[in-house]
Chains A and B, each alone.
Chain A
């Protein structure tokens, strides 16, 4: 509790996120929380638990499973759902599976579109959710910096960056027409360091992959890829080796670069980040496809 009197910054961010989460539950018929298993989702889930205590959050968790997540992520996901006692929905794009889409064979761009963007749209349509929480933060990317906390989506799940509703004070316009939906980002105003400091202050469990450990990796175009299972074919000249690495961001393992690091505790992670010269998205291969790639993906319905 002591941190709340010293870190007013985090206290405000926590209250703002709780306010947003409650507002969604009060005004939408069928909300869902997109749970991507990463640190931001962990913090967001924790805030949801706080928002409705002593009740459970009155919505399910949804994980869009590309089938290429790190194995430790999936086991952490299932443990977490059991720990918090919330319903966990998992959706995988059956068309993508049938077509054999994979980040290895199809490339990051196709894989992301089919197994993430399209899969998410399928899931939202299947369960008829009218609001979906996401853990995105505005400091992640330039196009995110302009997205609203309550971000309107057409019936086709498209985002129109030129036609966003103005968002004033803490009064959110939650009105939508039938078939439309809202993506809601309670962590909009958090930065990466805020998330880690909050995780430390509140002792929130996160996937162990964030902490340094010797792991089997291959180096590919300057990026360290962890060999999480036998689906990653080694290219000529590549050799798997053990390195002391950790992940700053988590996604599909063949698309997620590890960083060489000895940071094995939250304190060490935070210290390392304060000294870092690189942004967290550097480890994400999918963002480098082309300039403004994130804005394009988001218009199509990516989270």
Chain B
């Protein structure tokens, strides 16, 4: 892009006159811009000019314009798009709306997204499936913080084609210098963003200049109008040329003689007899048939939903990725990724979330938040957590390895979402950058003496007895009694106590939610090491969050015994053995569980001790009895 030729158009091949746009897939467009830049007006006007608004919709629009409109007696085109009642009343777009329109030449899917800063997540949502972004700029205001933000989010999500729509040209007298100043500043700013094409167009959305036809008021502009640009845009079929990737969605087994693998080809092409490899297991085979209801295919391409049968019987399940054997995806359980936080509950490093990547669903946690990215400047800031709409770069660890490609190479196999395991909301969207080599290079050392041999010599079965409950519930007292009895029975034990651990291993941690999560994670790892030594580990920790206790259970399958020391808060406050409640209630201690921080009681503990109704002695004996019942003693 240069200032002499502001309309530097697409450098891709397909914009030639010979290609029939009817042959192209629908173009997915994301519109973004600041509040009042005229996004909705732009789309509404394009629909109107192309006679894509039906008469009954127009009469409804005229009605609505009088009720909610902001442009006097004229038709307010924006009202066509702002769908939800609340939005119409507030005059802003609060969510992603999808619009569909076709010209005789092409079909379009438009994602209209909000410009407000607090709705970054919606913009990222719209961007995730878009081929091209139309970035609106108000000619009077030039590039704003929001413009930078939107351009960066668009780039983060991997959109490579941008139309810079300089709107409200009517209000600057269609001044060429204004337009060229904005386009050259944008080009300079966008250099690091990796766009393949930037197409600037001077427009007036309200009056229709350079929308569906060239405007007589910009004779100096030698590019195409908006619609012509969109109609001829060929974003290429790049996915066909990438290595073959086929995430297995469903194993189709109607009878014993047929075993087909259903999925959508993420990239590449496939033909019968092509070799494939299963990414995680490394096993390989050959494609036998490409099965569809219309008959077997000779070839299938990226984007096609097909069913493959293989020449060999391999163990393949939902979540496996079939790939080109000579160009396989990476397989790792630790990687670096950019994430966009989408939940109102902040990110807690160490907490277990569910990762969904293609058809793979695995428990996952953020092991380290490297930095937060300021999406207006790309500046990196140190951060301990991410809040709603914040973007960060972090290391993640999954409980089992997953197959992936870097997002920059393949949007379909490099993207994931994180799901909150309790609310089930989509907590984050992520884009994988690279596998962490340290995980790949640190292999588990083969050790001669095993855990069970260490336990056998002690004549016991290792276990983690996890006492959870409010401060003052009696956890430490009962744990101490249980250990004394176990010791008397000849068991090899160790007791980890909250206060003691915080003096040593965890003395760097405080009592914020994030620190509590890390506290429990470390203790879990220590307890696990001690079970490796064959020990019975007693742990006495408030451990207020279900998510972390669930993580412990998953870390030590079959060995984790959750003991809920269930003492009502008023009883704990009355006991107050360390005088802590008194101080917390007086506001002298912050983040105190039960006072100003929640305690999430276990829903199904292995053992529940009602200390308000029985003595500590009786409680301790009940634990011993339960261990006997479970044949652990």
Q: Show the binding face of A for B, using Cβ within 8 Å.
A: 1, 6-9, 11-16, 18-19, 22-23, 25-26, 49-56, 138-139, 141-146, 161-162, 164-171, 173, 175-177, 188-189, 191, 193-194, 276-279, 281-282, 291-292, 295
Give, as a whole number of angstroms, the nearest-CB distance from A49 to chain B.
6
Contact B56 A282 (CB under 8 A): yes
Point out the residue from A12, A173, A282 that lies within 8 Å of B26, measured CB to CB: A12
Point out the residue from B82, B102, B292 that lies within 8 Å of A53, measured CB to CB: B292
Give, as a whole number of angstroms, the nearest-CB distance from B272 to chain A.
16
Give, as a whole number of angstroms, the nearest-CB distance from B429 to chain A.
5
Chain A residues with CB under 8 Å of B415's CB are: 168-169, 171
Contact A19 B107 (CB under 8 A): no
Contact B22 A6 (CB under 8 A): yes
Contact A291 B64 (CB under 8 A): yes
Q: Show the binding face of B for A, using Cβ within 8 Å.
A: 22-26, 54-57, 60, 63-64, 80-86, 88, 94-100, 102, 107, 109, 121-122, 124-125, 128-129, 249-250, 252-254, 258, 260, 262-264, 291-295, 303-305, 307, 318, 342, 354, 356-359, 411-412, 415-417, 419, 424-426, 429
Contact A168 B86 (CB under 8 A): no
User: A50-B292, A139-B100 are known contacts. Are A279 and B342 too (CB-CB below 8 A)?
Assistant: no
List 6 other contacts, CB 8 Å, given A26-B250, A171-B358, A173-B426. A26-B318, A52-B262, A145-B99, A168-B429, A173-B356, A173-B417
Chain B residues with CB under 8 Å of A292's CB are: 85, 88
Contact B254 A19 (CB under 8 A): no
Contact B304 A278 (CB under 8 A): no
Contact A189 B98 (CB under 8 A): yes
Point out the residue from A23, A25, A53, A164 that lies within 8 Å of B307, measured CB to CB: A53
29 contacts between A and B (CB under 8 A): A8-B24, A11-B304, A12-B303, A15-B304, A19-B264, A22-B263, A54-B254, A54-B260, A138-B98, A143-B83, A143-B84, A145-B83, A161-B84, A162-B94, A165-B425, A166-B342, A168-B415, A169-B129, A171-B358, A173-B356, A173-B419, A175-B354, A189-B26, A189-B109, A191-B107, A279-B57, A292-B85, A292-B88, A295-B84
Contact B95 A146 (CB under 8 A): yes
Contact A278 B55 (CB under 8 A): yes
User: A15-B303, A26-B249, A189-B109 are known contacts. Are A169 and B426 too (CB-CB below 8 A)?
Assistant: no
Contact A26 B252 (CB under 8 A): no
Contact B54 A51 (CB under 8 A): no
Chain A residues with CB under 8 Å of B56's CB are: 278-279, 281-282
Cα–Cα, bound, A197→B125 (Å):
29
Chain B residues with CB under 8 Å of A277's CB are: 54-55
Contact A278 B356 (CB under 8 A): no
Contact B84 A146 (CB under 8 A): yes
Give, as a whole number of angstroms, the nearest-CB distance from B186 to chain A.
26
User: A8-B23, A22-B249, A22-B250 are known contacts. Are A170 and B262 too (CB-CB below 8 A)?
Assistant: no
Chain B residues with CB under 8 Å of A170's CB are: 129, 264, 412
Contact B294 A168 (CB under 8 A): no
Contact B426 A165 (CB under 8 A): yes
Chain A residues with CB under 8 Å of B424's CB are: 173, 175-177
